[in-house]
Structure 1
Amino acid sequence: MTWSSFIWFALPAMLLWGGAGTLIYKPAARRAAEWLMLLGIAVFAAFIVALWVGLERPPLRTMGETRLWYSFFLALVGYVTYKHWKYPWLLSFSALVAIVFGVINLLKPEIHSKSLMPALQSYWFVPHVTVYILSYAMLGAATIAALLQIRKLGRSVSDPKLFGLMDNLVYAGFGFLMLGMLMGCFWAKAAWGHYWSWDPKETWAFVTAGVYLAYIHMRLRPVHPRLTAWVLPVAFILLLITWVGVNYLPSAQGSIHVY
């Protein structure tokens, strides 16, 4: 399987997710929406597996390949969290963003060779990147929940259930974020001889983790709820800078994290 086949999997998956995101707001059609979401996830997963086999390496090297995983995990996290908390908007948002990343990959396909540079030929490669992408999906969903809570607080209304959703998504996402960082340290030690070098991406990752940790501490003392909720959008902006933005900084040129 190659990138040229992506359209034949992406379009059905996106149509299924679009249908799920629309039908979920109709109580009588919610079961059908759940099945459509699951089918879209299955179709997308089938392409990732087939591409992995075709490339003879995990499709995690490039930004385009990581977008595949972001679409997959965001759709999956959206479905699982919807099943638990029953917020229709959460499944709809997850489906929408998964579609957006799919469209980006259709408009900007990336085709690369099968080979990986020596630094990426490590058993830490797959779990490190996969865990990070899963954490990004959870923290992205937490950000949307935070924006909804901010809107409610602006009307002097608080939704404890929504705060609970935010907290659980952040706890899980932060846990995966720290696990990914720890795996990265062991990978760096094996590949370059040191656990941490304050590389630009490492520095931004540290700052991002610190802001999410600040949110967790603020929630342990439930004061200033609106200020606390605003921490999550700020933290997610830092996360996006860590993931994408750092690559464009002059200081990152020659970085071990820019391939």
Structure 2
Amino acid sequence: MHPLEAPTFQLAFLLYFVSLALSAAYLISGARPAERGALVTLTAGVALQTLNLTARSLQAGRAPFSNLYESLIIFAWGTAACLLAVQWRRQAPAAGLTVLPLVLAALGYASTLDARIEPLMPALRSPWMFYHVAAAILAYGAFAVAGGLGLLYLIRHSLEKKPTVPSWFERLPGLGLLDTWIYSTIAFAFPFLVLVLVTGAIWAQKAWGTYWQWDPKETWALITTLFYAGYLHARQFTRWRGLRSAWLAVIGFLVVLFTYLGVNLLLSGLHSYASG
């Protein structure tokens, strides 16, 4: 392990936690320093985790894409980076309340696993692996943020029906804004999800001699792609917006989560190496 790995992992985890706490403090109190602090600590956390991944890559002589430990830390980084992009662009500190717990859970789970660097199995020694995983990082991270925004929508929608609302209610983004953000985030992620399928098929052909084998991971990746294609179609042509869109964003991310982790942990197939 590179000497920078452990301290940068721990500091990134701490900064994400502080960012979550400051996001909650801003929502409760409305204090602008807490809002700015949440963004600064999130930015620092992403920067430190980037350093962590760089150190591991230099030590391993390859990108950190080989096993469940590396998969979890790269997923946490991708999700935090997508959240950071939304925070900078949309000024929505409340989004951290629904997304950062997932980042912390991924890193917490990773901390329980063996972090030793191991040689790549032959099937993973392909340049297509980099493109395949890079596309997945962007897609899954953005879908996680969309799911978090969908959850915020459901919370605000539920509160609006009550005769009295808590004082922090008005610091949640409006339903119209959340609906637009959910759609734009999913629309951004979808081409990368398609790229995951395409690069995976090319990689499979070079590694195993066939483009498609109906492996559980392949099947669920296709199901996930069809789900989000259906979402985009419904959004454009049947005007499924608002509450329906928010529910689909949340359900869609649960499908992503099963495709990403559940398949590897519960089903056997060509991708089972990632659970090691």
After TM superposition, the score normalised by the length of structure 2 is 0.83
Following superposition, the deviation at residue 32 of structure 1 comes to 3.5
Alignment partners' CA distance in 1, 2:249 and 2:22: 29
Shift in Å, 1:216? 1.0
Do the aligned partners of 1:66 and 1:133 also contact (CA within 8 Å) in 2? no
Instruction: Determine the C-alpha separation between the residues in 2 that align with 1:225 and 1:44.
Output: 34
CA shift for structure 1 position 210: 0.9
Where does 1:86-235 land on structure 2 (aligned, <5 Å)? 86-113=91-118, 115-154=119-158, 155=160, 159-220=175-236, 221-223=238-240, 225-235=242-252
The verdict on how the C-alpha distance between 1:101 and 1:223 changes in structure 2, with shifts beyond 3 A counting, is: closer
CA–CA separation in structure 1 for the residues paired with 2:241 and 2:79: 30
Answering whether residue 51 of structure 2 is matched by residue 37 of structure 1, we say no
What 5-or-longer segments of structure 1 have no aligned partner? none
Report which stretch shifted further, 148-157 or 239-248: 148-157
CA contact (8 A) 2:46 2:81 kept: yes
Query: What are the Cα deviations for residues 181-205 of structure 1, in whole angstroms up to 9, with x where unaligned?
Result: 1111111122222222221111111
- Larger relative contact order (CA 8 Å, sep ≥ 6): 2
Q: Normalising by the residue count of structure 1, what TM-score does the alignment of the two structures yield? A: 0.88
Gaps of 5+ in 2: 163-173
SS at match of 1:257: helix
Counterparts of 2:199 and 2:53, CA distance in 1: 23
- Cα RMSD, aligned residues only: 2.2
When structure 1 is superposed on structure 2, of 61-70 and 8-17 the one drifting more is 8-17
Percent identity between the two aligned chains: 27
Pair 191,164 (structure 1): closer, same or farther in 2 beyond 3 Å:
same
- How far 1:133 moved relative to its partner? 2.0
Provide the secondary structure at the position in 2 that maps to 1:258: helix
Could you tell me which amino acid in structure 1 is paired with residue 271 of structure 2? H
* 2:137 aligned partner, one-letter code: I
Q: Which residue type is aligned with residue 122 of structure 2?
A: P
Give 1:239's aligned amino acid.
V
Instruction: Determine the C-alpha separation between the residues in 2 that align with 1:145 and 1:186.
Output: 33
Kindly tell me the number of residue pairs found equivalent between the two proteins: 254
